[in-house]
Amino acid sequence: MHTIHTSPFFHTSNNRTPQLHLLIMSDTTKPTYHYWAGVASRGHYLFYTLGYNGKLDDIIVKGDQPYPGTPEWASGEGFIQSKMGQLPVLTDEGDVSIGQGRAILNYLCKKFSIGQDLSLADYGKSEELVEQANDIHNLLGKAHYGADRTVSMNEIFASGGPVEKVLNAYEDHVGGAVAPGHCCFAAALNLLVRLEPECLAKNPKIKAFYDEIQANEGIKTVNERCPYPYFKRNSN
């Protein structure tokens, strides 16, 4: 779709009839996020942050890349990869082409003015939550690719295990205004809940925080658009 922007500038040189200058801009000037569509995985942190802040449709998602492990992916042809041969990648006007999910999150938060007016203390809390979400992602990745996935997933969700440790550690630290870090942390919680639906039951404050985020319309849209869990609970 094209939007026609009229310029108030009329060209009058050489005594010619004034001409209305038209500048034609396209929706393709939106930033484009290159990542597999429909999968709740690394993109979830960005989507939760944009969704909660009503910016989900301010980017284009290009999600039809081949999957790693296929010859098409190995060829690297016909789609974009990061400098490290990975996804996600964000492309934007001005020759912007950046990899690293965290860099893309920061770039779009800056571009869309999300969380830019936080106090220094709240900024610190938000950053901590972003990193904690990343640690949860790495924990899930390690268990997912463990020698016996069922065993390693059982271990992380076990009583006294690493998931319980994180939830207990943050039980008193998810309050206040919802900053980008809160959105990323809620996205990580969503990945946990998809694997173990009752995993928040012993942490009432985190559960209440999670439910509040889930009630947001933008977050509901993200979940609808990403129905497939990347991480699996069992080996088969």
Six-digit token string for 187: 């996205």
With CB under 6 A as the contact rule, the residue among 68, 175, 176, 204 that binds ligand GSH is 68
54: number of CA atoms within 13 Å, CB side?
Answer: 1
Determine the size of the site formed for ligand GSH (CB under 6 A): 10
DSSP-assigned letters across all residues of 32-64: EEES-TTEESTTHHHHHHHHHTT-GGGSEEE--
49 binds ligand GSH (CB under 6 A): no
Residue bearing tokens 């996804």: 87
Instruction: Tell me if 137 contacts ligand GSH by CB under 6 A.
Output: no
Structure tokens at 32: 């484009």
Q: Which one, 38 or 176, has the nearer CB to ligand GSH? A: 38
Min dist. Cβ of residue 231 to ligand GSH (A): 11
Q: How far apart are CA 64 and CA 94, in angstroms?
A: 24
Residues 31, 51, 88, 115: which binds ligand GSH (CB under 6 A)? 88
* Residue 100 touching ligand GSH (CB under 6 A): yes
Give the bridge partners for 3, in sequence order: 25
Instruction: Answer positive or negative: Cα dihedral of 151, 157, 159, 160.
Output: positive
Tokens of 212: 């509040």
Stretch that binds ligand GSH, among 3-11, 18-26, 96-104, 197-205 (CB under 6 A): 96-104
Which is nearer to ligand GSH, 87 or 163 (by Cβ)? 87
Closest listed residue to residue 222, CA positions, set 93, 39, 78, 66: 39
Q: Does 101 interact with ligand GSH (rule: CB under 6 A)?
A: yes
> Considering the rule CB under 6 A, would residue 204 count as an interface residue with ligand GSH?
no
Q: Does 86 bind ligand GSH (CB under 6 A)?
A: yes
With contacts defined by CB under 6 A, name the span among 57-65, 80-88, 114-122, 174-182 that binds ligand GSH: 80-88
Residue 42 in contact with ligand GSH, rule: CB under 6 A: yes
Judged by CB under 6 A, the stretch of 82-90, 105-113, 124-132, 200-208 that binds ligand GSH is 82-90
Residue nearer to ligand GSH on the CB measure, 56 or 87 = 87
Under 8 Å CB-to-CB from 144, ≥6 apart: which residues?
A: 152, 153, 230, 231, 232
Q: How far is the CB of 7 from ligand GSH (least distance, A)?
A: 40
Category of 158 on φ-ψ map: left (φ > 0), alpha (ψ -120 to 50) or beta: beta
Point out which residues bind ligand GSH (CB under 6 A): 41-42, 68, 85-88, 100-102
